[in-house]
């Protein structure tokens, strides 16, 4: 088993398969994009599998693929099959902007993908194009429908909460759960590499943060009923609207102090670093070790041992260095 210095068991590996993306979301990337890693600096599928297999032998059960946009990487179903076939791996899921999901959903499901999380911050077509700088809401909604048809369930919808951007839509986004069996999850905006102005139509990034408690308050008129029984739940605090068929989740990496206590994950970046914590700059190189013929496990153990107790983002700025898209959100 992989147990860190604070007694947390590591059972979840979040793998970024690319640092590239077909969107340029204002809170994630500058409009001109970033300097992408050269092709041979990116982990090959066999290398990712090697890390996942070593992690699974030590008790990792869940894998989530992310990026960048994972669906821009060629032949993703091949990787999914490789990962789903690893003994001990019970769940392979994907976080995507869903722009390319309509065509790929069926193949992904056939390869062994269990579920998808789709990022969707607004239901307004024009605003969607502005936030994502080029995304199409219609295509994303078609992607979600295709994922439902392919059985990639439950569909989780990730909404990054931003004051002056989408806070007028929280009620409408929450009400999606009345008619759809989706889990709509509101996520606090994290100050990771996105503190430069987003453009003339947007508030200052420093003003855009909304604490999750404020969103819960705003949605209380919907009659929210708590879904969390006791301790032991994941990073989302969950509610249901009476009569609704979906769920609401609230994820507060910044303002909820228990968030880190429940952390069970390691992250693998597309260019081959294990990142013990999203919000600490520590990274342990694993791709260079693999390419030097060394085994993955000692590096995994080193990364687990380097997991900090928690982050200090509520009182301190994010560490310099990589953006969310380069780490794998």
Choosing among ligand SAM, ligand SF4, none, which partner's interface includes residue 29 (Cβ < 5 to 8 Å by kind)? ligand SF4
Strands 225-226 and 115-119: unpaired
Does residue number 96 form part of the binding site for ligand SAM (CB under 6 A)?
yes
Residues 2, 10, 17, 29: which binds ligand SF4 (CB under 6 A)? 29
Q: Which does 269 bind (CB under 5 to 8 A by kind): ligand SF4, ligand SAM, none?
A: none
Q: Binding segment for ligand SAM among 105-113, 228-236, 291-299, 321-329 (CB under 6 A)?
A: 321-329
Residues 110-129, one symbol each (x = binds ligand SF4 by CB under 6 A, - = not), give: ---------x----------
Residue 187's nearest CA partner among 23, 21, 25, 19 is 25
Q: Does 190 bind ligand SAM (CB under 6 A)?
A: yes
Residue 19 interface partner, choices ligand SF4, ligand SAM, none, CB cut-off 5-8 Å depending on type: none
Residue 17: which residues within 8 A CB-CB, separation 6 or more?
Answer: 43, 48, 65, 66, 67, 68, 70, 73, 76, 79, 270
Of the pair 189, 290, the CB lying nearest ligand SAM is at 189
DSSP-derived secondary structure for 191-236:
-SS--S---TTS--HHHH---HHHHHHHHGGG--EE---SS---SE
291: its two tokens: 């390419």
- Told to check if 68 binds ligand SF4 by CB under 6 A, we report yes
Among the listed ranges 6-14, 67-75, 146-154, 284-292, the one in contact with ligand SF4 (CB under 6 A) is: 67-75
Under rule CB under 6 A, residue 24 binds ligand SF4: yes
The closest alpha carbon to 255, from 210, 219, 293, 322, belongs to 210
Toward ligand SAM, which CB reaches closer, 53 or 73? Answer: 73
- When asked if residue 25 is in the footprint of ligand SF4 (CB under 6 A), the reply is yes
The distance of closest approach from Cβ of residue 203 to ligand SAM in the complex, given in angstroms and rounded to an integer, is 14
Angle in degrees, CA 181, 18, 40, rounded to 5: 160
Q: How far apart are CA 184 and CA 246, in angstroms?
A: 8
Q: Considering only residues 2, 28, 222, 268, which one is a binding residue for ligand SF4 as defined by CB under 6 A?
A: 28
- Min dist CB 245 to ligand SAM, Å, is 22
Decide if residue 235 touches ligand SAM (CB under 6 A).
Answer: no
Q: Identify the sign of the CA torsion 31, 252, 119, 129.
A: negative
**Dihedral, CA atoms, 103, 140, 158, 233, nearest 10 degrees?**
-40
Cβ closer to ligand SF4: 15 or 28? 28
Binding partner selected for residue 158 from ligand SF4, ligand SAM, none, CB under the kind-specific 5 to 8 Å limit = ligand SAM
Closest C-alpha to 75, from 37, 43, 123, 107 = 107
Which residue carries 């793998």 as its tokens?
15
Look at residue 113 and give the partner it binds from ligand SF4, ligand SAM, none, a contact being a CB closer than 5 to 8 Å depending on partner kind.
none
With CB under 5 to 8 Å by kind, the binding choice for 274 among ligand SAM, ligand SF4, none is: none
Which of the choices ligand SF4, ligand SAM, none does residue 280 contact, using the CB cut-off of 5 to 8 A by kind?
A: none
């Amino acid at each position: 088993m992989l147990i860190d210095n604070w007694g947390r068991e590591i059972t979840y590996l979040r793998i970024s398969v690319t640092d590239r993306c077909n969107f340029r979301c204002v809170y994630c990337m500058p409009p001109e994009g970033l300097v992408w890693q050269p092709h041979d600096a990116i982990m090959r599928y066999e290398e990712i599998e090697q890390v996942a297999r070593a992690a699974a032998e030590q008790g990792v059960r869940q894998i989530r693929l992310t990026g960048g946009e994972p669906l821009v990487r060629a032949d993703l179903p091949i990787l999914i099959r490789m990962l789903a076939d690893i003994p001990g791996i019970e769940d392979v899921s994907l976080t995507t902007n869903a722009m390319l999901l309509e065509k790929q959903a069926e193949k992904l499901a056939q390869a062994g993908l269990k579920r998808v999380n789709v990022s969707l911050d607004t239901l307004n077509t024009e605003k969607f194009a502005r936030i994502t700088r080029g995304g199409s809401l219609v295509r994303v909604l078609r992607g979600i429908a295709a994922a439902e048809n392919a059985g990639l369930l439950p569909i989780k919808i990730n909404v990054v909460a931003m004051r002056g951007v989408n806070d007028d839509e929280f009620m409408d986004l929450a009400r999606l759960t009345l008619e759809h069996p989706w889990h709509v999850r509101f996520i606090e905006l994290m100050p990771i590499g996105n503190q430069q102005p987003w453009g003339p139509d947007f508030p200052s990034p420093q003003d855009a943060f909304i604490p999750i408690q404020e969103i819960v308050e705003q949605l209380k008129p919907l009659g929210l009923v708590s879904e969390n029984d006791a301790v032991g739940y994941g990073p989302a605090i969950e509610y249901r609207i009476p009569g609704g068929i979906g769920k609401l989740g609230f994820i507060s990496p910044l303002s909820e102090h228990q968030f880190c206590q429940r952390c069970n994950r390691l992250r693998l970046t597309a260019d081959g670093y294990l990142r013990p914590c999203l919000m600490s700059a520590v990274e342990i190189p694993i791709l260079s070790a693999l390419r030097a013929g060394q085994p993955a496990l000692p590096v995994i153990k080193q990364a687990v041992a380097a997991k900090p107790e928690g982050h200090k983002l509520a009182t301190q700025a994010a560490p310099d260095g990589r953006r969310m898209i380069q780490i794998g959100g």
